[in-house]
Structure 1
């Protein structure tokens, strides 16, 4: 469950949502405590209510012209996991022991939702009607000129943003995750009843409670990877 609070800022009225299942707001704990977990405590189950809360929080991530092209298949049933296992290559432990595996897809037809998204923004007072019409007309022309490859690159970038945010949200709720790229990307959409021409798989994210603390890993310092011009 969540509570909506209203706050007035210099940029207008904003709505703050607080989630009852969230365990911490400590940013350092969330970022520095995250580990990629391979084996989970299989006795821990995440309710669909809380999973929905976490996805709702994650989707506050930015996306190109706010089209929110990410789509999620939450695989939390035994039947769903049995379907996923043959496609998971060397990642069977995560599938078997996690509370769920979230398959993150991106929607090549995300512009179909533009009218709904921008119309709701007008209704909520986030933009005037004339701005909505101006922006949608401009975006419609831009998107119609995109090749499938350019469109795919754009929406995959957006899906990457929401995926990282989802892993941080999970940590805030007291759960652990593992992003997985090793799976049969050419089969997974059809296996779960999706149009494989429309829905492009990006990654799997296993989620649950770690059976043991994950290993720390070394990161290159910012000085080694940053260039100033």
Structure 2
């Protein structure tokens, strides 16, 4: 665990308040595999529609690969300097996973077959609409992305989410199958400089009670 920024375990509230988007990272810092795996496992515990877990994590750590995608991210230097760049993908065919999950539950005796069949039919019906599949891919991948950033902060690492990249070129460069769409790119590592302070709107501007 990186202890540069945290000397003791943080509460959930402290993690949420401490997380900021860091854009300058110490170069040549290697995140231990155990730390990275734990961060990804925690991210993968995020909620998802029908429990389809519509996210996949494409992890880039080799310097040559990071430098390859640097121009694709419009030269954002954190892509090259951070320890890892994690591209969170959304699954456009998550109904296939649903079939695996629910048929597996039946085989394990955790669910009656008729219930599983009903769920599979419901999911397949929803995923027959391209827009639904795309919306679910984006929405659920975003859940995992946010959880990943919080998990990283809890373990003493910093992150920054990036939407500014050429998705088509990224797909080509990293051979991403058409089943998956890039949703967000996250740089992860040890901060070389603090994040810029960011103002937050007051709840009076954010919360609408009952109805507009």
Please classify the TM superposition score into its range, dividing by the shorter chain length. Answer: 0.7 to 0.9
Q: Conserved in 1, the CA contact under 8 Å of 2:98 and 2:123?
A: no
Report the structure, 1 or 2, having the larger strand content: 1
* Structure 2 equivalent of residue 100 of structure 1: 84
From 127, 147, 152, the counterpart of 1:165: 147
Distance 1:225 1:125 in 2: 46
Q: Conserved in 2, the CA contact under 8 Å of 1:76 and 1:99?
A: yes
Query: 1:131 Cα shift?
Result: 2.1
Please identify, of 63-72 and 162-171, the stretch whose mean Cα deviation from structure 2 is larger: 63-72
Please identify, of 175-184 and 45-54, the stretch whose mean Cα deviation from structure 2 is larger: 45-54
Q: Conserved in 2, the CA contact under 8 Å of 1:189 and 1:199?
A: no
TM-score (norm 1): 0.82
Change (3 A) 1:117 1:217: same
Query: 1:213 Cα shift?
Result: 2.1
From 200, 220, 226, the counterpart of 2:201: 220
> 1:47-101, CA deviations, whole angstroms, 9 ceiling, x for partnerless residues?
233212211111111111111111111110012112211201041x201211010
Change (3 A) 1:193 1:24: same
* Structure 1 equivalent of residue 46 of structure 2: 61
The reply to whether residue 28 of structure 1 matches residue 9 of structure 2 is no
Alpha-carbon RMSD across the aligned residues, in angstroms, is: 1.8
Structure 1 runs of 4+ off > 3 angstroms? 119-130
Distance 1:27 1:126 in 2: 32
Q: Conserved in 2, the CA contact under 8 Å of 1:37 and 1:176?
A: yes
* Structure 2 equivalent of residue 19 of structure 1: none
> 1:157-195, CA deviations, whole angstroms, 9 ceiling, x for partnerless residues?
111111111100101111000001111111111211122
Distance 1:69 1:185 in 2: 18
Please identify, of 121-130 and 110-119, the stretch whose mean Cα deviation from structure 2 is larger: 121-130
The reply to whether residue 185 of structure 1 matches residue 170 of structure 2 is no
Distance 1:118 1:65 in 2: 10
Query: 1:33 Cα shift?
Result: 0.5
SS of the equivalent of 2:89 reads strand
Query: 1:119 Cα shift?
Result: 3.3
Distance 1:181 1:69 in 2: 18
Query: 1:125 Cα shift?
Result: 6.2
Q: Give 5+ residue unaligned stretches, structure 1.
A: 1-22
Q: Give 5+ residue unaligned stretches, structure 2.
A: 1-7
Distance 1:133 1:29 in 2: 43
